[in-house]
Structure 1
Amino acid sequence: MTTLLKNCAYVVTLDADASVLRDVDVLIDAGRIARIIDARDPLAEPIETLDETIDCSRRVVMPGLVNLHTHLAMTLLRGLAEDVDLDGFLTRVWAAEGAIMDAATVRLGTSLGALESLRAGTTMAADMYFHPDAGRAGAAEVGLRLATGPVLFDGPGPDGLAWERRLADVEAWPALARTLGGPDAPDLACPHSTYLVSPGHLADLGQVVRVWRRPLIHTHVSETAAENAQVIAQTGRRPVQVLADAGLLDGTIGLVFGHGVHLDLASDPALIGGHATIAHCPASNLKLASGALHWAASVSAGLALGIGTDGTSSSNDLDLWVAMRLAAMLARLTSGRPDAVTSVDILRAATQVGARALGMGDRLGSVEVGKDADLLLIDLDAEHLTPVHDVHALLVFAAGRSDVSDVFVAGERVIADRVSTTVDAEALRAQSRERAAAAVEAWP
């Protein structure tokens, strides 16, 4: 498939110089960005064959967003745990999950979450949820890159599996994942947290994951002060210290830490040593009153920060534009400095940093020739996007998911003029409403 994005008003490249290109054409061929052409150059080499041309004279072209921490299937549980803190949230939601979230429901909920994500401009997500094979298949149906894999607990958890079975599932996951279709996406092992997975089991997991082609672990870390206190009571160590003692921070495994609100910035960054990326989830953290991550202090301490939404049971939506804006404003609030983080920093966090954390930084996260064509078109024909003075600031502080008109994943136009090209969205919504109603009725 060969597509030409013609006469692009702005191309926000997020390359090394954060270049913004004006009046260029972007050629997508075989799933990649093949050429970026000066539309005003009469000597530009002509393009011989095209399957599709899209007028982008009133569009911003930018890299697809990467949601670095979420639980997509929980779209079906949205609104079931309100006005509670994390402990109250987990108590209510885990009961619901155990009662109703079987493989078929997870597939349906993940498809719904994947569609919500794509419509909002997210092209890849790091997911943590039960029945990851069903989740990967559901996301593949819709066209989202879903980085996922088996979830691990010491005990049976809502899905009722023993530890030995969970570890065996991790070992088998890469081969199974290759059979599930969809755009290429990383494999993850997902121990829930250091308060639900023991140090010994974490060490065992590390041994299994190290043989993967691209070893990656995704876990919750220091989301709340209460979590830190619980882990210290159980182990005598802070969460990051537990992970280091288990050998997971030796540089052989990439890690994504969900939340990281209450990291000890005086000691944890040295243990992390650049081997983990924090998935900052400001909407969820604020809604659950978990606390506010200090962006400027975290970066100064050497931490890499991406951005996530968390699941819709805690944040209530999968909108990375809201998360970006909250992250930028919280950084200013917690530091007392309006220059604590730039718009470019926030955009990089929501694109490049996430892609790099998931081992795909060489393929995703910027608009450059040779990279995969995971791209968004932002419609500028709106009062709140008029006029354009600073396009980076416009994207962070004014744009929203309703402004996303088109989305490409690996060169496939999965959202065209705000409509899914891969699934019947109305039917998916109807199935989701029906399943959610039956599930809630069955849940005691």
Structure 2
Amino acid sequence: MDLLITNARYAVTSNGSDEILENISIGIKDGKIAYMGTDKPAAAKTYDASGKLIAPGFINSHTHLGMSLLRGWAEGVNLQGFLERVWAAEGAIMDEATCELGTELGALEALLSGTTTTMDMYLNPAATHRGAVRVGLRHIAGPIFFDFPGLDGLQWEQRIERAHQWKAVLAEIGGPYIPTYLMPHSTYTDSPENLTQVAAIAKELGVRIHLHVSETQAENDDVATRYGKTPTEVCRDTGILDVPTIFGHGVHLSDSDMAIAASKGASVGHCPGSNLKLGSGLARFNDLRKSGIKVGLGTDSCSSSNDLDMFSVMRMAAHVVALRQSPADVDLTSIVRAATIEAAHAVGLADRVGSIEIGKEADLIAIDLHAAHLTPVHDVNALLVFAAGRGDVTDVWVAGDQVVANRTSTKIDLTDLIKRVNHRVKALDPLR
């Protein structure tokens, strides 16, 4: 073994049986999990996990990492007010270098809090991908599509050109393996004609699609007024759903929408924190899952939910189910799975990550249980969802590479990053 994680008090596997193993060792070889058991095979390095819980790294299935620079910028507003406030700030500072800087900050926050993979939709995706890979994150990004030039100033033809170049860009930048995505923003910022073109390119290239769908009732009403359809129906009729697709939010999907999405194999990135804060509504988590849709959890951006903490997202997801239905309808195992293996299915990585199983890539986190708020342990899933927090994460591995050691990045200097961020956001002062 290259690394042997020994003496873990618990390992939450998120495997097909949702096993929670005790007093277990996990061996890693060539970036993959190669051993699980109670023996201690020879290893070049060892990590003593005594008193710790090992879990799959969390998968954030919908976020905008570069917007970490706008944390706290748009408060006390709904989605429309949020967009108006944020787009002005983005127009002032979000050039390629700033997108890279903001994503570097967001990627570090994600990793320090136990998230190893993000589905990240943002401007200048090549720049954002460089920033995230530098920190060690498994970072899913893709070309963005708007009908209009947008904050990045690209014309439609330039967006199409970048889509065709994207696989080569990813190969040049490198980093942990990710599936290839195209990312039209939504059915209200991309016309059916243009969505049809994006779908055709996705089919041609054999890639996946991510876009916002039914985040608010106002969005549904707008799309219905324009096209006489729901956003999901627009996705179906333009061919978007003919390739693997993940919806961001899906708060206001009707029963019919769910049936369409399920029949096409679409998934949903559920962001309860952002939806609650912006007053967008309460997604039907259990109904989505019962319809056959794979549901992952996400944070959305730091400017709409203020952090990238997947522990708080799990907690809010459970609370939303209790509020919509009843506490008896909260299945804690399904909540943990939505942050791990179900999210991996949603984003197209379930064959590689999302569970602790031999042959999977070693995207793992260690959680220190030596804490008053984590004592005693009666129910491990309840502990993860309702008690543990990002500050309890001590160590993180991505594809076997230790990117966080003893709560500190092994890749970049936090003090220097904070200095660079604070210097750059001074350009926002005239807009305050």
Give the alignment's TM-score, normalised by structure 1. 0.95
C-alpha distance in 2 between matches for 1:405 and 1:117: 13
What's 1:34 paired with? Answer: 34
C-alpha distance in 1 between matches for 2:88 and 2:331: 41
Task: State the Cα distance separating 1:274 from its structure 2 match.
Answer: 4.6
C-alpha distance in 2 between matches for 1:32 and 1:267: 38
Contact 2:9 2:51 in 1 (8 A): yes
The yes-or-no answer on 1:349 pairing with 2:338 is yes
What's 1:265 paired with? Answer: 255
RMSD: 1.4
What's 2:265 paired with? Answer: 275
Using the aligned pairs only, state the percent identity: 47
Q: 2:328 is paired with a residue of what secondary structure? A: coil
Contact 1:174 1:212 in 2 (8 A): no
Task: State the Cα distance separating 1:267 from its structure 2 match.
Answer: 4.2
C-alpha distance in 2 between matches for 1:186 and 1:303: 19
Query: Aligned partner of 1:236: which letter?
Result: G
C-alpha distance in 1 between matches for 2:104 and 2:360: 26
What's 1:440 paired with? Answer: 428
Choose from 118, 127, 130 the match for 2:120.
127
Contact 2:258 2:288 in 1 (8 A): no
Structure 1's 308 and 218: CA in aligned 2 closer, same or farther, altered over 3 A?
A: same
The yes-or-no answer on 1:54 pairing with 2:66 is no
C-alpha distance in 2 between matches for 1:271 and 1:102: 35
What's 1:22 paired with? Answer: 22
Task: State the Cα distance separating 1:161 from its structure 2 match.
Answer: 0.8
Structure 1's 271 and 9: CA in aligned 2 closer, same or farther, altered over 3 A?
A: closer
C-alpha distance in 1 between matches for 2:321 and 2:300: 19
Task: State the Cα distance separating 1:390 from its structure 2 match.
Answer: 1.0
Contact 2:314 2:339 in 1 (8 A): yes
The yes-or-no answer on 1:238 pairing with 2:230 is yes
What's 1:43 paired with? Answer: none
C-alpha distance in 2 between matches for 1:254 and 1:237: 21
Structure 1: gaps (5+ residues): 40-45
Task: State the Cα distance separating 1:301 from its structure 2 match.
Answer: 2.9
Query: Aligned partner of 2:314: which letter?
Result: M
C-alpha distance in 2 between matches for 1:178 and 1:429: 29
Task: State the Cα distance separating 1:55 from its structure 2 match.
Answer: 1.1
C-alpha distance in 2 between matches for 1:225 and 1:406: 41
Task: State the Cα distance separating 1:272 from its structure 2 match.
Answer: 4.3
C-alpha distance in 2 between matches for 1:279 and 1:307: 5
Choose from 376, 386, 390 the match for 2:365.
376
Structure 1's 408 and 270: CA in aligned 2 closer, same or farther, altered over 3 A?
A: same
Structure 1's 305 and 363: CA in aligned 2 closer, same or farther, altered over 3 A?
A: same
- Mapping of 1:388-399 within 5 angstroms? 388-399=377-388
Q: 1:325 is paired with a residue of what secondary structure? A: helix
Report the count of equivalent residues.
Answer: 432
Query: Aligned partner of 1:324: which letter?
Result: M
Structure 2: gaps (5+ residues): none
Q: 2:286 is paired with a residue of what secondary structure? A: helix
What's 2:221 paired with? Answer: 229
Which of the two has greater helix per residue?
A: 2
C-alpha distance in 1 between matches for 2:179 and 2:412: 23
What's 1:418 paired with? Answer: 407
What's 2:85 paired with? Answer: 92
Q: 1:22 is paired with a residue of what secondary structure? A: strand
Query: Aligned partner of 2:144: which letter?
Result: V
The yes-or-no answer on 1:168 pairing with 2:161 is yes
Choose from 53, 70, 74 the match for 2:63.
70
C-alpha distance in 2 between matches for 1:267 and 1:97: 32
Give the alignment's TM-score, normalised by structure 2. 0.97
